Structure 1
């Protein structure tokens, strides 16, 4: 009889190994072998669980997206749920310690670069973009017109992505991530009616 939870544990180990390999080698140089060696498993198990490297890479990106979503939910549950709180939680979720980590930063950068060329990754990136804008639009719409909320959401999403990207590529990422988060919050709050 199979041991309950072993399959999920192995899948997570492979996802973690894929993230580590992508962070170290980049998406192009990451192979089934580099992933399986990091996970301490046979390369055939990747095909068994994910159908191949591409399936595992997409699962790893979904893992990052899920982690981002869970972070937002954890933060929003500790607030009054107001528009201001929602916006601040969205920004904070994008700048958590994990999202700032070298592993996450390098992996996100690799995914973004490859998403222009791989339909599966492009679809996941579009989902991420839509989710960010939708969550921001919902929060802004509590205190402004639909059109104003749409514009505010696009501007704030661009600020979040822009500051995150600039920070990830900077000489001193930690300092830049902290400054970027602060500037995004100040900008977002300036758009809300006083």
Structure 2
């Protein structure tokens, strides 16, 4: 009889092995056999849980984004006021579980994979919309109608840091990365809301 809970453990092990293999290869040029070996399970068992490599890659994407969503929720729960809540989202984006070499490599590969996989594209679309919505909700109270543009700028900066980290170019310490993002937000807040045209 299979042990209770072993399916979720093995699924998670295969997902983590996928992320590790992607980081080692620097691409999606990994096989189900390689992933199964890393996870310590048979190839047959890997195929029992995941139909094919694309299914496994999609599950890895979902797992990373679920972890990120959990971290954002926990960070927001302890934040007071819109500026602190924006900072909480920044901290979650740079948390050790997200901003580490293996996960960063996986993010970059997933972005490339989304160009040819509709499933991957949908998952990334959900992530980008949710991040933008969370940021806009808080920024609207700080910069008014400029919230949409400021949120887009902050998301682009976060993506840029991930790209640099993944490529190994101009890497920054976590604390420096946080200060860079926070200074951008602070400058945008200092600039105030959008100016409306005066009535004639």
Structure 1 length-normalised TM? 0.89
User: What residue is the counterpart of 2:120 in the other structure?
Assistant: 121
User: What residue is the counterpart of 1:191 in the other structure?
Assistant: 188
Would the alpha carbon gap of residues 30 and 43 (structure 1) be closer, same or farther in structure 2, given more than 3 Å must change?
same
2:13 equivalent to 1:16: no
2:82 equivalent to 1:83: yes
2:101 equivalent to 1:96: no
Root mean square deviation, CA, Å: 1.8
- Whole-Å separation in 2 of the counterparts to 1:154 and 1:172: 22
- Whole-Å separation in 2 of the counterparts to 1:149 and 1:79: 19
Instruction: Tell me the SS of whatever aligns to 1:96.
Output: coil
Where does structure 1 lack aligned partners over 5 or more consecutive residues?
none
Question: 156, 159, 164: which is aligned to 1:158?
Answer: 156
Is the Cα–Cα contact under 8 Å of residues 14 and 46 in structure 1 kept in the other structure?
Answer: yes
Deviation at 1:133, TM superposition (A): 0.7
User: What residue is the counterpart of 1:138 in the other structure?
Assistant: 137
Is the Cα–Cα contact under 8 Å of residues 68 and 93 in structure 2 kept in the other structure?
Answer: yes
Structure 2 length-normalised TM? 0.87
Render the CA deviation track for 1:140-188: whole Å, top value 9, x for unaligned: 122343x32111111111122123322332346353x432221111101
Q: How many residues align?
A: 191
Is the Cα–Cα contact under 8 Å of residues 14 and 35 in structure 2 kept in the other structure?
Answer: yes
User: What residue is the counterpart of 1:73 in the other structure?
Assistant: 73
> Which is greater in Rg?
2
Is the Cα–Cα contact under 8 Å of residues 32 and 43 in structure 1 kept in the other structure?
Answer: yes
Where does structure 2 lack aligned partners over 5 or more consecutive residues?
193-200
Deviation at 1:13, TM superposition (A): 0.7
User: What residue is the counterpart of 1:30 in the other structure?
Assistant: 30
- Whole-Å separation in 2 of the counterparts to 1:166 and 1:67: 22
- Whole-Å separation in 2 of the counterparts to 1:127 and 1:76: 19
